[in-house]
Chains A and B, each alone.
Chain A
Amino acid sequence: MAAARKKGTADSPGSSQQPSRSRQPDTRANKAGFVAMSVLRRHCIPINCLLALALAFYVVTVSSTNPNQPDAVTRLLTHSVKPLQKALHVIGATMRNLQLNYVAFKDLWNENSNLKAQIAALESERNRLFEAKLANDRLMELLEIRTRILRESVAATVISNSASSWFRTITVDKGSAAGIHQGMAVITPRGVVGKVVSVGENTAKVLLLTDHKSGLDIITQRTRVRGIVSGSVDGEPVVKYMGRNEDVRAGDRLITSGLDGTFPKGLLVGTIVDIEDEAPGLFQRVRVSLAVDPLVMEEVLFISDKPKHVFSSALDEVPEPASSATP
């Protein structure tokens, strides 16, 4: 069969050539089509890119020439992406609202913090002013009593209390440099405090009336009975040397007698709170509540034994007489 097939093909060359002649244009067309297809296939991406570019340019051109009336392609694209556009709009609006809420919350937070800080500052300022007012009141009282007492006086501030439970002293912030010396009387507008026992250049130590070593000559304001107020170890001051037949009772006010030469006469020392008649001995035991609580003092006044020079400043300003200049 193969030989016959060979023969057949060899015997009839014309029959084999004739169809090939008739198919030649088709083959060329096929070849051209094949080439075109292969080119298209090889360059399909650039071609598609160019198509996309052309479409985009078309959209741009149409939208720029007639922006109010989009063409069919633009309408189609717009219509197809409308759901996406809506979704994007919703998401964008939500995000914007979130941002606005966050900003509002942040503003509120900052405002709250600022207001809290302002409240704290105002509270501190109010406290400071209140303290200043109290200090002013106390100093006014001091000033008032200073003008009443006709002796030299120095005001000072208490800087510490006693560090020992066996001694009742305070330390103040002024010393010999301010004119304070040992033995000066120490008072407040409420009453007597004690006496200076040691003086430094800028500090002074005051022995309080509550100390068991202190003693102060007093009289009762009502009946003018004399006695000595002294402290005790248990911290309760008493009046010593008050006779059993003296007319004293609880509630009597005790004032300084002025006989010790240190304290001016008439300063309030305290009040009698209790009298023990059954106590043995010649004198009755009188317990006293002092007018000044030493634990709450802040400012004190030191009183000198020298009389106040009322006209000293005026005398300082008087010019020297002219006769002193001439020999």
Chain B
Amino acid sequence: MNVSLVFFGIGLIFVVLQATVLHLASWTPIIPDLTLTLCVYWALNRPRVEAVWGTFLLGYAIDILSSPQPGVNAVAFSAVFLAVYLVFRYIWARGHLMSAVTVFAAVWLKVGTLIFISPLFDLPTRDWVVIAEAILHEALFSAAIAPFLFIVLRSIQTRMESPRKSPSYVNAS
């Protein structure tokens, strides 16, 4: 099975989890963005055309579920994918800490894009401190989860991309 298809399926599961279980399990209204973490991993480790459109569709799925204005999360997710791809095309940075830092920055970029393109926070009295705290919490949650999620995704990717032994090869050996 195609790795991108599997990642897209996992992304849909993450969207469902974010819409349901994580709200029940979390003690604050802020929940980690698992879907964005997946998209960051996708941009870092398997940047393909299908990954781009998979990211777009996952963002759009979140729009369908939670956004009052369709497309804003699709824009934000696509922007994050593009940024991560362009930045890490020229920087060799791997490791758990780096993955956490990348996801931390990606969350800030995502919310920044949302603020930039959407009137979501265009309130008469803007409480930027509260918004910044909320972004910080989401970024910290996501960054804390990112290394574990990256390990799981990497194991899935490695298992799917490893060459299978043919029966003839097995017989010959």
Contact = CB atoms under 8 A, between A and B. Distances in A.
Contacts of A78: 64, 70
B78 A53 contact: yes
B49 A45 contact: yes
B37 interface: no
B142 interface: no
A96 B48 CA distance: 37
A56 B20 contact: no
Contact of B12 (A49, A55, A84, A96): A84
A259 interface: no
Interface string B23-54: 01000000000000000000000011101110
A63 B69 contact: yes
A23 to B, nearest CB: 34
Interface in A57-103: 57-60, 63-64, 67, 70, 74, 77-78, 81, 84-85, 88, 91-92, 95-96, 99
A45 B19 contact: no
Contacts of B79: 53
A178 interface: no
Given A88-B19, A91-B16, A57 B75 contact: yes
B86 interface: yes
A63 B70 contact: yes
A46 interface: yes
Given A74-B70, A77-B60, A85-B64, A56 B82 contact: no
A56 B75 contact: yes
Interface residues of B, number: 35
Contact of A49 (B20, B65, B78): B78
* Chain A residues touching B, range: 20 to 34
Contacts of A85: 64-65
Contacts of A81: 57, 60-61, 64
A297 interface: no
Contacts of B78: 49, 52-53, 56
Contact of B20 (A70, A74, A84, A95): A95
A52 B65 contact: no
Contact of A46 (B57, B60, B86): B86
A59 B74 contact: yes
Interface in A128-180: none
A92 B20 contact: yes
Contact of B75 (A60, A84, A88, A99): A60
13 contacts: A45-B47, A45-B51, A45-B52, A46-B82, A46-B85, A49-B52, A53-B78, A53-B79, A56-B71, A60-B71, A60-B117, A74-B70, A88-B65
Interface of A: 44-46, 48-50, 52-53, 55-60, 63-64, 67, 70, 74, 77-78, 81, 84-85, 88, 91-92, 95-96, 99
Interface of B: 12, 15-16, 19-21, 24, 47-49, 51-53, 55-57, 59-61, 64-65, 69-72, 74-75, 78-79, 81-82, 85-86, 117-118
